[in-house]
Structure 1
Amino acid sequence: MCRQLREHVWWIDLSGVNAYLVDDDGTWTLIDAGMPWHHEEIQQAVAEVAGSIAAVDRVLLTHYDLDHVGALARLDGLDAPIYVGRADYPFLVGQHKPPLNNHKGAFQRAVGWLVDSPDGPVETIEDGDQIGSFTAHHAPGHTPGHTVYASETLSTGILGDLVREDDGELVPSPYVISYDTDDVRDSLRALPDELPAFEAACQGHGVPFREGGYDRLRECAAGY
């Protein structure tokens, strides 16, 4: 199901995980790509808004995880550069497997056979990089290369899995699905001072917030 959150920003609800579609000054941007079996739902949602998946000009990934990159290689007609944090890049393109000496890495490796590397060009992004109106902010913890994107123009923060919505509030990524909760804490506490104020908070799980997103993020960080 595809729902408009703000002008130029749509939420693709994939029943348990979220993707987003943004019209960034005429550049269609898909953010994250669900599970491998979500490809038809994503294609249908993008077609409703932008005409077809072929209209997508770029893909921003918040991180490498089965439920955020799974459908990338199955999106028929997608021909766009894909951006991902440098530390997650080797996992996405198949250069290296996630580490076995980390509980989250071991899980990623166990389910890695479900994820095909995308055919299109994959580019790494660094902290502070600008992609359209979005600024990338390296926010490790959930994964090593986890990245948050913020657009002051669109008043939108793409928060990935650093936080999730639970009963109307943002809560931090817990130990069981994080590489390092100390890094989660440090990333979360630093972000409010790095990001511009924004209305829409678009996290990977739970219901996104149309308004007051920055304040909710700050409250979550202050209580962690």
Structure 2
Amino acid sequence: MEIAPNVHWLETGSSNVYLIIDTPNIVLIDTGTPRQQDKILGKLRQLGHQPADLTHILVTHADIDHVGSLAALYKATGAQIMAGADSARLISQGKSPKHMPIIAQWIIDTFMKYGAVPQDKISVLKDGETLPFLSGLQVLATPGHTLDHFSFFGPATGILFAGDAIDTRNGRINLTRPSITADKTAARRSAIRLLELSPAIIAAGHGTPSSSHTSDEIMQLFNTLRQE
């Protein structure tokens, strides 16, 4: 589904991924759970492009439901992977960050590893830099849900790729659940930073992308988070 000109939303079952067609660049944000590569590459072909046309893969964080198909897509496309330093380290080990309740985290650490990508194949993102996509895509460190989390904002389009820093499940804008958040204080600060941008479209990692929210809704959540 096209959520803005040349920006496509693809639901992979557990999480969302986004394709940006910005010729000569084609950019994928996150990769979903393991074994989603055929679905993602199929969408790329549907849009008239081949796997080798994918130039970049941006990573919001190293949870298995966001980078599970990263290694397979890298092998199929040779795209440049870009992630924060902590995410890059985790990806090189095929490990998810620690942020779940104890038993769930043990299960993930023990049984739910994903395909690794060598760390030297990953370009490290830095907070505050601007990438040459969508007329300038801002890189924003947004720790909280996980400590390695990054989001991306395009001022020219008003699109916020929020990862799991903001949730749009059930048509509501909110934080990701506290029970699966590594640092609740940092999560609030990160969400406030994102809400201050007044995004026109919130393309989150989970839930339907939000484009019908009002400035009042943004301000209400912003004020609630500030008071907390």
TM-score, length-scaled by structure 2? 0.84
Specify the alignment match of 1:93 in structure 2. Answer: 92
**CA contact under 8 A between 1:84 and 1:123: conserved in structure 2?**
yes
Cα distance, 1:99 vs. partner?
5.5
Specify the alignment match of 2:21 in structure 1. Answer: 23
- 96 and 70 in structure 1: CA distance in 2 versus 1, 3 angstrom threshold: closer
Amino acid corresponding to residue 93 of structure 2 in structure 1? G
Cα distance, 1:49 vs. partner?
1.6
Q: Distance in 2 between matches of 1:126 and 1:158?
A: 16
Pick from 149, 152, 155 the counterpart of residue 152 of structure 1: 155
More displaced stretch, 212-221 vs 200-209: 212-221
Amino acid corresponding to residue 131 of structure 1 in structure 2? L
Amino acid corresponding to residue 8 of structure 1 in structure 2? N
Specify the alignment match of 1:49 in structure 2. Answer: 47
**Residue aligned with 1:77, SS:** helix
Q: Distance in 2 between matches of 1:107 and 1:8?
A: 38
Q: Distance in 1 between matches of 2:62 and 2:148?
A: 8
More displaced stretch, 62-71 vs 170-179: 170-179
More displaced stretch, 42-51 vs 200-209: 42-51
TM-score, length-scaled by structure 1? 0.86
Gaps in structure 2 of 5+ consecutive residues: none
1:152-171 correspondence to structure 2 within 5 Å: 152-171=155-174
Specify the alignment match of 1:126 in structure 2. Answer: 126
Cα distance, 1:186 vs. partner?
1.6
- 36 and 218 in structure 1: CA distance in 2 versus 1, 3 angstrom threshold: farther
Deviations 1:159-194 (A, max 9, x none): 00012113211110112222111211121123333x
Q: Distance in 2 between matches of 1:70 and 1:149?
A: 20
The structure richer in strand per residue is 1
Q: Distance in 1 between matches of 2:218 and 2:56?
A: 26
Q: Distance in 1 between matches of 2:48 and 2:9?
A: 13
Amino acid corresponding to residue 5 of structure 1 in structure 2? I
More displaced stretch, 135-144 vs 180-189: 180-189
Deviations 1:48-101 (A, max 9, x none): 124122211111111110000001112252111111122222101129875599
Q: Distance in 2 between matches of 1:63 and 1:188?
A: 15
Q: Distance in 1 between matches of 2:19 and 2:72?
A: 17
- 83 and 218 in structure 1: CA distance in 2 versus 1, 3 angstrom threshold: farther
Q: Distance in 2 between matches of 1:173 and 1:179?
A: 11
Q: Percent identity?
A: 22
Specify the alignment match of 1:221 in structure 2. Answer: 222
Amino acid corresponding to residue 117 of structure 1 in structure 2? A
**Residue aligned with 2:66, SS:** helix
Gaps in structure 1 of 5+ consecutive residues: none
Pick from 142, 147, 152 the counterpart of residue 145 of structure 2: 142
**Residue aligned with 1:167, SS:** helix
Amino acid corresponding to residue 142 of structure 1 in structure 2? H
Q: Distance in 2 between matches of 1:152 and 1:85?
A: 21
Specify the alignment match of 1:208 in structure 2. Answer: 209
Specify the alignment match of 2:78 in structure 1. Answer: 79
- 162 and 200 in structure 1: CA distance in 2 versus 1, 3 angstrom threshold: same
